[in-house]
Amino acid sequence: MPYYTNFLGLYKPSRNDNLAMDTTLADNFSSIDSKLGSSLTDEKGVTFLTLKERLASIAVDTSIEGIALASEYNLIGDGSTDDHEELQKMFNDSEGKVLHLEYGKTYGIASGYTVFIKSNTTVISHGAKFKKLSTGTTYPLELSGVNIWVDNITLVPFGTFNDVGLKITGTQIFIETVDITTDIANVGGNAIDFNGLFISNALYVTIGTIKAKNWERTVQIASSQHITIGYFDIEFFSLAVYLNDVKYFRSYGAHIRKKSSQADGDAGENSILIESKSHYASEDIYIANWLAEETGEHGYRLGGGYTISRVTFDNCTAKETGQGRNGNGTTEAGVGHGGCGFKVLGPTINGGYHRDITFNNCKAINGRDDILDGSLNFAGFYIGKCKNVTINSPTVDTDKVSTSARSWVNGIEIIGSEEVNINNPNIHYVNNHSIHIQDYQQDGYDWGSLISRIVINGGILATPLKNNVNVEAHYYTFRRLVVNNVLLEGGENSIKAIKDGTGDYLTCFASGYISIAPSQFSLDLTNEWIAQMSGIFTSSVNPCSDGSTFSSTAGFKIRKGGVWVDY
């Protein structure tokens, strides 16, 4: 017969007991939890210490060479007393040793002071924390040495607009977890120098997980190389992660969500922003398995005034970006600066281009659908002034219930770029064009004059409000543009290419299958485009180059002398 023991009141099932296992476990853990506050006595009257008491009673033999104990220093650790002097003495003495902090302690650091963890130090935290005791822009804790290992750093900010957290400037740093969460909103005030975690001039830094909440500028990594972050868990932010002059960066996962109350859609309010202060100062960057939700501006952004190269996004998702709103609510400036899922815009102030950018299986979901259709800064993917870009299997869509909901203004926007390969796109329900390719000019800025070797290969472009593929040459000659074997559904035009001013086309080609008739033309191309189409032939106009063909259920047509004739 099963029974409850006197010791902790735990349920002991018999061999044939049919009591549900989850109920048994729940009862047992409830009994354990209720007893943790005091010592325990079993059926024979033997007293057992609680888990907390046992941890506190563990004695480390300090006679063993290389062991240091925080308990041997005059540290108060009550979360309100300034311990910075004794902390620094402890870390100075711990170089080359394994330092054990005290369980349950919170070490206070007054404003204006920095405690440095130095070289060849291993720190076992035992759950201890560091706390900044007053406002100020001096980082309270800095890992400045070489070869430092820490299992967990938990830093509690004071919680004001001019606040900062943890700083890393060393080499060969390994931290299992950095925790800089706070329930105080808008910490740091969205100033570039006020960061929850600042990694600067560092080499070979590896952090398993970064947990952060309520920091306006959560993580900045600057002038550093070989930085690896296993996972970002960031909530309530204006700019979550900022990379500036960073090489060989790796991140293998993130959930970045919920813009802060201060984020109104200004430039730079992204889940990640990557910039350079000189050509190629930021390169070889790999970002995988990120989910970025509800950003003020863009989800993922490569910007800055200089070339960035070799950046890869794998299996990343941008959802409901561009949520910052201000102004009158009707113009682009009045609803926020922008809201792309992924935006890569090369230098517009010099001759540089961003180069070697790759997107694999990335998704842009539920973009802004309340923006004027001419707004270029609200696309699922925005590629501007770039060379050698590959976009493999991108998705631009909406998961909203309403069938009238639009996913973005444009699915993919390309401006002033060359050597762009878009393979197997899946783009649905955009306000404007599924894929929009154009040139652009603005006084004092260089938006790229070479638009060539752009290939759309396969995939599905469906039900835009305007065109599935829209190409506009206003200033330059577009060369070697290819639309190859794409499924085209609905819209005003399946493919439309216009030219005016000094714009022109040279050796461009289109093929695909038109499965649902557009509302105006299947094709509205210039005479420089050769087309080999099949599907629904909706009009006898369908302008394109002589020699083009169209196969439909009505027969096979060929373009001769500027008109379609039956073959």
Instruction: Tell me the C-alpha distance between 222 and 46, whole Å.
Output: 58
Question: Rounded to 5, what percent of the chain is helix, strand, coil?
Answer: 5, 50, 45
At residue 30 the predicted structure's pLDDT band, cuts being 50, 70 and 90, is low
CA-derived radius of gyration, the chain? 30
Give percent above pLDDT 90 in the chain.
76
- DSSP-derived 3-state class of residue 84: helix
Instruction: Tell me the C-alpha distance between 311 and 565, whole Å.
Output: 48
CA-based nearest residue to 446, from 344, 346, 309, 304? 346
- pTM score, whole prediction: 0.87
CB atoms < 10 A from the CB of 29, how many?
A: 11
Report domain extents, the chain.
3-50, 59-203, 238-465
Instruction: Tell me the C-alpha distance between 409 and 397, whole Å.
Output: 11
CA 30 to chain CA mean position, Å: 39
CA-based nearest residue to 285, from 315, 231, 314, 249? 249
Q: Mind listing the pLDDT tens digit for each residue in 361-405?
A: 999 999 987 776 667 899 999 999 999 999 999 999 999 877 678
- DSSP-derived 3-state class of residue 500: coil
CA-based nearest residue to 341, from 362, 369, 358? 362
Q: Which residues, at least 6 apart from 266, have a Cβ–Cβ distance to it below 8 Å?
A: 296, 297, 324, 336, 337
At residue 51 the predicted structure's pLDDT band, cuts being 50, 70 and 90, is very low
Q: Tell me the average pLDDT across 43-62.
A: 49
Instruction: Tell me the C-alpha distance between 290 and 300, whole Å.
Output: 10
Q: Mind listing the pLDDT tens digit for each residue in 157-210?
A: 999 999 999 999 999 999 999 999 999 999 999 889 999 999 999 999 999 999
Q: Tell me the average pLDDT across 23-40.
A: 52
At residue 27 the predicted structure's pLDDT band, cuts being 50, 70 and 90, is low
Tokens, residue 391: 């976009």
Is the predicted pLDDT of residue 34 greater than 80, yes or no? no
CA-based nearest residue to 231, from 177, 181, 183, 279? 177
- DSSP-derived 3-state class of residue 20: coil
| Entry field: residues in the chain | 567
- DSSP-derived 3-state class of residue 91: helix
Give percent above pLDDT 70 in the chain.
86
Is the predicted pLDDT of residue 13 greater than 60, yes or no? no
The three-state DSSP-derived secondary structure of 137-174 is CCCCEEECCEEEEEEEEEEECCCCCCECCEEECCEEEE
Q: How far is CA 463 from CA 71, 79, 439, 457, 459, in A?
A: 68, 59, 24, 18, 14
Q: Mind listing the pLDDT tens digit for each residue in 415-445?
A: 999 999 999 999 999 999 999 999 999 888 8
Instruction: Tell me the C-alpha distance between 329 and 368, whole Å.
Output: 13
Instruction: Tell me the C-alpha distance between 370 and 390, whole Å.
Output: 29
Q: Mind listing the pLDDT tens digit for each residue in 507-531?
A: 999 999 999 989 888 999 998 999 9
- DSSP-derived 3-state class of residue 449: coil
Q: H or E element: which one contains 23?
A: helix 21-35
